Amino acid sequence: MRSLSIGATGMLAQQLNVEVISNNLANMSTTGFKRQRAEFQDLLYENLKRMGTTSSDAGTVIPSGIQLGTGVKTGSVYRIMGQGNMNMTENTYDLGIQGEGYFRIQLPSGDEAYTRAGALQLNGNGELVTQDGYAVQPGIVIPANAVEVSISASGEVAVTLTGQVAPQVVGQLDLATFINPAGLEATGNNLFLETPASGTPTVGIPGSAGFGTLLQGYVEVSNVNPVQEITNLISAQRAYELNSKVITASDEMLQTITQLR
């Protein structure tokens, strides 16, 4: 019976849907996290009577035919890149991105990663780094005798040194954008890697055309909407239950056949 396997594909699809939703909810408090959504596609169809074929010598055509579906499959798990809210932290090195763009991060392997998580810190050398100690590109070094650090909306880093009144610029942060940011590969630790689907990065100054601006003392929170996710979770659970009922009904039909005498 096709309904057994069809119901099984439906249960597997909704199981994956629940896993995606649960990951969204688990990352409600993750800085810069972008929620995901599962997209599904119907499987191949079995043509018992193909539409458009002739049904008689007179040239009559079958208008609709008979097509039987074989179930559902996961087409993709799409990352929704909507802007998250800005949470004020009053931490000097916390930077929120308003608009498009990613911070460029130098990995220990020499590769470049990208992140929206602007909870930055200083290492022992005064370099601006992520929570894992990876350097933000281009490299910014804050002098040890700096008494005040100011980062403008355009990414200009200025410091006021001990005994000086006028601040001096020590570096310029930039951002990277992608033609298809949903094609970036998530590697964990709030980091993404470039892929052929994302396209190559375009690097520019914050606030210029096509690039967002920076907000010092803020971090971008997750764009997960808990009410929407709970609603999606309930829908996925009900769909899972309905597909399980299809399997139960099919099993009862098979049981009826085996009891025939």
pLDDT value of residue 50: 81
Q: Are residues 114 and 212 in the same domain?
A: yes
Q: Are residues 14 and 63 in the same domain?
A: yes
Q: Are residues 214 and 228 in the same domain?
A: no
Residue-number span of the structural domain to which 55 is assigned: 2-81+224-258
DSSP letter for 155, please: -
pLDDT value of residue 73: 92
Half-sphere exposure of 242 (CA within 13 A, CB side): 9
pLDDT value of residue 23: 95
Q: What's the alpha-carbon Rg for the chain, to the nearest Å?
A: 27
Percentage of the chain lying above the pLDDT 90 cut: 69
pLDDT value of residue 166: 86
Q: Are residues 140 and 198 in the same domain?
A: yes
pLDDT value of residue 115: 94
Q: Give the residue among 2, 201, 8 at the shortest CA–CA distance from 115.
A: 201
Q: Are residues 137 and 30 in the same domain?
A: no
Q: Are residues 11 and 95 in the same domain?
A: no
104-134 pLDDT, tens per residue?
999 999 899 999 998 999 998 999 999 999 9
What 3 state SS string does 223-235 have?
CCCHHHHHHHHHH
Three-state DSSP at 171 gives strand
Pairing mode of beta strands 45-49, 66-69: antiparallel
Half-sphere exposure of 69 (CA within 13 A, CB side): 10
pLDDT value of residue 144: 87
What is the separation of C-alpha 218 from the centre of its chain, rounded to a whole number of angstroms? 21
Q: Are residues 52 and 95 in the same domain?
A: no
**Residue labelled with tokens 């006021």:** 160
pLDDT value of residue 69: 86
Q: Are residues 48 and 166 in the same domain?
A: no
Q: Are residues 151 and 208 in the same domain?
A: yes
Query: What are the mean pLDDT values of the chain's consecutive 10-residue runs (261 residues total)?
Result: 90 95 94 93 85 79 84 92 91 92 93 93 91 91 89 92 86 94 92 94 93 93 94 95 93 86 71
Distance CA 143, CA 126 (A): 6
Q: Count structural domains, the chain.
A: 2
Q: Are residues 91 and 214 in the same domain?
A: yes
Q: Are residues 54 and 104 in the same domain?
A: no
Q: Are residues 74 and 109 in the same domain?
A: no
Task: Give yes or no for a contact between 32 and 116, defined as CB atoms under 8 angstroms apart.
Answer: yes
DSSP letter string, 46-106: EEEE-TTSB-STT--B-SS-EEEE--EEEEEEEEP-PPPPEEE---TTBEEEESS-BEEEE
